[in-house]
Amino acid sequence: MEIVITISSGFLLLVGSFLCISGGIGLLRFPDFYTRMHAVGVTDTLGAGMILAGLMILSTDFLVFAKLVMILLFTLLIGPTTSHVLAKAAFHNGVIPKGSNNLKQTKEKESTSSII
Amino acid sequence: MINIVLLTLLVVIAIAIIRMKDLFAAVMLAGIYGLLSASFFVVMDAVDVAFTEAAVGAGISTLLMFVVITMTGRKEKSIRHKPLPALFVVIITGGLLIYGTLDMPYFGSEDAPIHNHTSPRYINDSMQEIGIPNIVTSVLASYRAFDTFGEVVVIFTAGIGVLTLLSIARTKKNDEEIESINDSMHQQHLVVRIIAKMLIPFIFLFALYVQFHGDFGPGGGFQAGVIFASAIILYAMLFGLVTARKVINQIFIQLIAALGVLLYGSVGIVSLMNGGNFFDYNVLSSNPITGQHLGILLIEWGVGCTVASVIVVIFFNFAGRRELQQHKKPSQDKESSK
């Protein structure tokens, strides 16, 4: 039993850390704002979730477990919301995703029409 | 090792803040600076201080600075002349300060005066004298209650200062206008609003937990007040200042700010009248330990009330100023938002 717990939590922690690191690499390497945000937003939610799950398996105290569950719920709510808000704010302020010419044209039309 | 990494990062961020021309990025970096110093405090086992730093330095102060930036604009004014006299003054002051630290005991050295009689006294006797597990709270709220009283008065004075400088006669908006603003915001911030609605009660709950759990773990009036205020500020940001003002009456909040200081002070007066020293909680009850518990609970409550309401008042006045500014020149504002 002991070894199952250790191995499974170790696996979860490892995968979670890997996801967080890959999100960090994505943040540095991806070409434009939206892909970068996507890399961090998605991997951070899953990575943090997996790390928390790994810690939950390890925890023996019920209070610690409950606190970890609360942190997990909080991250699950907050992570996607912040990504959403960031993307929305960026789009609102005219950041165009790379390689989407259609969107660019419509956006330009919109802005010219609104100025007139 | 981790100390060196954190301190290096702090220095790097400080230099980046100085070099940055974009004020938005500078404020963001200041927030990161606050968070890093909070983690530095955690490494040094000062959890209560770290808690305060994370809530105030990384949270509220960053937010207030953002509110100011929306009024002043994002770019730093370019300075033509070289401020050489200022550099001269800074170098001299810095040199004197460094010269002053040479006389101080080394960082973490055992024979520093504070480790010889003050700290051992607190660590050894606080459990018998005060009877609460968190020594930081017993030092802050009982041994050094007078200092903390000073801090609360400082915060209260800051609130009064903001009120006298920024307080504006508000024009009454009719309900329809509020409704229309509300609807447009509802379209814009639908997701955030729903999430915030789910989270705000829990933020309040957490603030109360921090407030009353301060005797047993990290926390206390200052942190709880900031968290409480941040929930109200979140509400005001998402549902509009006018709606928030309808929910939370500003006069009432100002009254609570004053009442917090009054409560704190009157605990001291009551202990004086019962024949003890100012802020000597032993005389508050027949049993000294119960008296200490009661005193700490009351003054933490006073601190929490004052901090929360002063921060809410500051935010309301800052944001109200901004709304007034936008009202004056709506055309200009529309262009800048495009």
Residue B62 Cα distances to B229, B277, B336, angstroms: 14, 40, 22
Mutation target for B interface from A83, A88, A109, A112: give the one with most B CBs within 10 A. A88
pLDDT at B157 over 90: yes
pLDDT tens string B266-288: 988 888 888 888 888 888 888 88
Shared-domain flag, residues B45 and B150: no
CATH number at residue B48: 1.20.120.1200
Count other Cβ atoms within 10 Å, centred on residue B75. Answer: 10
Shared-domain flag, residues B156 and B12: no
Shared-domain flag, residues B80 and B174: no
Contacts of B195 in chain A (CB under 8 A): 77-78, 81
pLDDT of residue B333: 43
Shared-domain flag, residues B149 and B71: no
Q: Using the beta-carbon criterion (under 8 Å), do A85 and B338 form an inter-chain contact? A: no
How does DSSP assign B1-39, residue by residue?
-HHHHHHHHHHHHHHHHHH--BHHHHHHHHHHHHHHHHH
* Nearest to B142, CA basis, from B335, B38, B292: B292
Shared-domain flag, residues B141 and B60: no
The helix/strand/coil state of B75 is strand
Q: Tokens at residue B95, please?
A: 């040199």
Structural domain boundaries enclosing B5: 1-104
Contacts of A74 in chain B (CB under 8 A): 199
pLDDT tens string B24-37: 889 999 999 999 99
Contacts of B192 in chain A (CB under 8 A): 81, 84-85
CA distance B335 to B286: 68
Shared-domain flag, residues B92 and B166: no
Which residue, of B62, B83, B104, is where some domain finishes?
A: B104
> Is position B109 within any domain?
no
> Is position B27 within any domain?
yes
Question: In total, how many domains does chain A have?
Answer: 1
Which residue type sits at B12? V
SS (H, E, C) A7-34: HHHHHHHHHHHHHHHHHHHHHHHCCCHH
Question: In total, how many domains does chain B have?
Answer: 2
Please name the residue of chain A whose CA is at the shortest distance from the CA of residue B192. A81
> Is position B119 within any domain?
no
Structural domain boundaries enclosing A43: 2-115
Percent helix, strand, coil in chain B, to 5, is 80, 0, 20
Shared-domain flag, residues B167 and B84: no
Q: How confident is the model at residue B334 (pLDDT cuts 50, 70, 90)?
A: very low
pTM of the shown model: 0.81
User: Residues 198 to 217 of B: which have CB under 8 A from any A CB?
Assistant: 198-199
Mutation target for B interface from A72, A84, A109: give the one with most B CBs within 10 A. A84
> Is position B115 within any domain?
no
Which residue, of B49, B84, B104, is where some domain finishes?
A: B104
Nearest Cα of chain B lies from the Cα of A7 at a distance, in angstroms, of 28
pLDDT tens string B296-305: 888 899 999 9
Shared-domain flag, residues B184 and B61: no
Cβ of B190 under 8 Å from any chain A Cβ? no
Shared-domain flag, residues B145 and B8: no
Mutation target for B interface from A81, A86, A92, A113: give the one with most B CBs within 10 A. A81
pLDDT tens string B70-102: 888 777 777 777 788 889 999 999 999 999 988
pLDDT at B331 over 50: no
Nearest Cα of chain B lies from the Cα of A93 at a distance, in angstroms, of 6
Q: What sections of B82-218 are H helices per DSSP?
A: 84-101, 113, 119-129, 135-138, 145-166, 175-188, 190-213
pLDDT tens string A80-110: 888 888 888 888 887 777 776 666 666 666 5
Q: How confident is the model at residue B336 (pLDDT cuts 50, 70, 90)?
A: very low
Residue B215 near residue B48, CB atoms below 8 Å: no
Cross-chain CB nearest to B195 (options A81, A94, A114): A81
Q: Using the beta-carbon criterion (under 8 Å), do B191 and A77 form an inter-chain contact? A: no
Cross-chain CB nearest to B195 (options A77, A111, A114): A77
pLDDT of residue B76: 74
CA distance B294 to B216: 14
pLDDT at B154 over 80: yes
ipTM confidence: 0.75
Q: Using the beta-carbon criterion (under 8 Å), do A85 and B198 form an inter-chain contact? A: no
Residue B291 near residue B267, CB atoms below 8 Å: no
Shared-domain flag, residues B100 and B140: no
Q: Going residue by residue through chain A (116 aa), what tens digit of pLDDT does each one get?
A: 788 888 998 999 999 999 999 988 988 888 888 888 888 888 888 888 899 999 988 888 888 899 899 999 988 888 888 888 888 888 888 777 777 666 666 666 655 554 44
Q: Tokens at residue B221, please?
A: 């009036």
Q: If you count residue pairs, one on A and one on B, with CB atoms under 8 Å apart, how many are there?
A: 15
Q: How confident is the model at residue B321 (pLDDT cuts 50, 70, 90)?
A: confident
Q: Using the beta-carbon criterion (under 8 Å), do A84 and B338 form an inter-chain contact? A: no
Q: Tokens at residue B146, please?
A: 């007078």
